[in-house]
C-alpha cells in the first residue's frame, strides 16, 4: 500500500457562522470554522483512519493559517498546501437556520489563492496515492484549476488508481450552464465511481429517471454510479447490478450542508475496504444522515470508533435495506479494486 491512501484537492475557506437566526445583514455575532466540500470529504476519511493528503493553496494571511492549522488537527497531510503571498484565502458567511431548511451562504472567493491552483501544483509523489477523490468545484474556480483537475484524474486513472467524482455543481462559478454541463461530464468520464445528486444528474444528463442517469455515466466509462435521493436514500447501478437502498430516518434535521459530503465519505471508505456497492451505499446513507444532525459542515462526520459502535448497532438487527434489485449470489472484482455483486 502506498504511504498516501487518498488524495483530495480543492479550496478550503474560512467560514463565519451566524450565532443567531435571521438575515445575515442583521446578525451581530459569528463564530469561525472552515468550509469546503472537498476538504469535508478529506476530513471524514481521515477520521476513519485513512492517510489523506490535501492539495490546495491558501493566502499568506490569518485565515489561511487558521485553515491549515484546522486541517492538520484533523489529521490531513498538508505538506502540499502552498502559501500564496499575492492572493487571499477565500471565506464565506453562513446563516443559522433552526427549522432544518437550507442556510443562506455568501461566498467571497473570486481571485482567491486556491483559484490559482494549476498543473504545476501537482507533485510526483502525490500520484502514488491509492485513491483520488475529485469534485466539480475546483474546475469551476479557474481555467488553471480546471486543467489541474483533468490532469490529476487522467494520470491517476491511467496509473490504475481508483478515482471517485462528485459533481457538486456550483453554477455561479461557471461562465454558463452549458459550459458547466460539458466540462463536468468530461471529468465524470474519467472517474470509476460517479456520485451525483438526483437534481444534478437530471441537469447534467437530460434524463429524469435515476436508472437512465446512471446508464449515461456507465456508457461514458464509469464502473459504478450512486445517485443521492435525499431522505429517501440512494439508487446505485454498476455494470453487473442495480438497486435502491433506503435512507436512514432523521427525527431532527439541524443543518443540511455537508450531507452529500458525508455520503461520499461513506462510499469511498467502504469501497476501499472492499465492501460491496450496496453495502457502501448503506454506510453512505448513514453517514449522510448523521451529518445533518449536527450544526456545521463536517462536525457530524464520525470517527472510526463511532462508525463501529453506532453504525453496527443501527443495522445489526436489521436486514440489508436494499430493495428492487436482482438476487445476489457471488462477488467479483470490478476495475480498480471495486467489489460488486453479480446477479445470480
**193 and 131 Cβ atoms separated by less than 8 Å:** no
Active-site pick, 61, 77, 255, 261: 261
**256 and 295 Cβ atoms separated by less than 8 Å:** no
Q: At what angle do helices 210-220 and 198-205 cross, to 10 degrees?
A: 60
Give the CA distances from residue 229 to residues 9, 92, 159, 195, 296, in Å, rounded to whole numbers and listed in that order. 26, 27, 32, 11, 21
Catalytic: 261? yes
For the chain, give the secondary structure using H, E and C. Answer: CCCCCEEEECCCEEEEEEEEECCCCCCCCEEEEEECHHHHHHHHHHHCCCCEEEEEEEECCHHHHHHHHHHHHCCCEEEEEEEECCCCCCEEEEEECCCCCCCCEEEECCCCHHHHCCHHHCCHHHHHCCEEEEECCHHHHCHHHHHHHHHHHHHHHHCCCEEEEECCCCHHHCCCHHHHHHHHHHHHCCCCEECCEHHHHHHHHCCCCHHHHHHHHHHHCCCEEEEECHHHEEEEEECCCEEEEECCCCCCCCCCCCHHHHHHHHHHHHHHCCCEHHHHHHHHHHHHHHHCCCCCCCCCCCCHHHHHHHHHHHHCCCCCCEECCCCEEEEEEECCCEEEEEEC
CA distance linking residue 166 with residue 135, whole number of Å: 5
Catalytically active residues are 261
Amino acid at each position: 500500500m502506498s504511504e498516501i491512501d487518498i488524495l483530495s484537492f480543492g479550496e478550503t475557506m474560512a467560514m463565519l457562522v451566524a450565532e443567531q437566526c435571521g438575515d445575515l445583514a442583521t446578525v451581530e455575532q459569528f463564530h469561525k470554522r472552515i468550509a469546503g466540500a472537498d476538504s469535508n470529504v478529506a476530513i471524514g476519511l481521515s477520521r476513519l483512519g485513512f492517510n489523506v493528503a490535501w492539495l490546495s493553496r491558501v493566502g499568506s494571511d490569518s485565515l489561511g493559517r487558521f485553515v491549515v492549522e484546522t486541517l492538520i488537527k484533523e489529521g490531513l497531510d498538508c505538506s502540499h498546501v502552498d502559501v500564496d503571498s499575492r492572493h487571499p484565502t477565500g471565506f464565506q458567511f453562513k446563516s443559522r437556520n433552526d427549522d432544518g431548511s437550507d442556510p443562506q451562504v455568501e461566498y467571497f472567493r473570486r481571485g482567491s489563492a486556491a483559484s490559482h491552483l494549476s498543473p504545476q501544483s501537482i507533485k510526483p509523489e502525490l500520484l502514488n496515492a491509492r485513491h483520488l477523490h475529485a469534485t466539480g468545484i475546483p474546475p469551476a474556480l479557474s481555467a488553471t484549476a480546471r486543467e489541474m483537475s483533468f490532469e490529476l484524474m487522467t494520470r491517476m486513472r491511467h496509473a490504475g488508481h481508483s478515482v471517485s467524482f462528485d459533481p457538486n455543481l456550483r453554477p455561479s462559478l461557471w461562465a454558463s450552464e452549458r459550459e458547466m454541463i460539458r466540462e463536468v461530464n468530461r471529468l465524470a468520464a474519467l472517474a470509476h465511481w460517479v456520485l451525483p445528486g438526483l437534481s444534478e444528474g437530471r441537469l447534467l444528463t437530460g434524463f429524469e429517471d435515476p436508472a437512465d442517469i446512471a446508464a449515461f455515466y456507465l456508457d461514458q466509462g464509469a464502473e459504478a454510479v450512486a445517485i443521492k435521493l435525499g431522505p429517501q436514500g440512494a439508487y446505485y447501478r454498476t455494470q453487473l447490478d442495480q438497486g435502491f437502498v433506503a435512507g436512514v430516518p432523521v427525527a431532527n434535521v439541524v443543518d443540511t450542508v455537508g450531507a452529500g459530503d458525508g455520503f461520499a465519505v461513506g462510499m469511498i471508505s467502504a469501497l476501499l475496504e472492499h465492501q460491496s456497492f450496496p453495502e457502501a451505499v448503506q454506510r453512505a446513507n448513514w453517514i449522510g444522515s448523521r451529518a445533518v444532525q449536527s450544526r456545521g459542515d463536517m462536525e457530524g462526520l464520525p470517527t472510526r470508533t463511532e462508525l463501529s459502535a453506532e453504525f453496527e448497532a443501527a443495522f445489526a438487527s436489521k436486514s440489508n435495506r436494499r430493495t428492487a434489485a436482482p438476487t445476489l449470489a457471488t462477488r467479483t472484482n470490478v476495475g480498480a479494486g471495486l467489489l460488486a455483486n453479480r446477479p445470480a
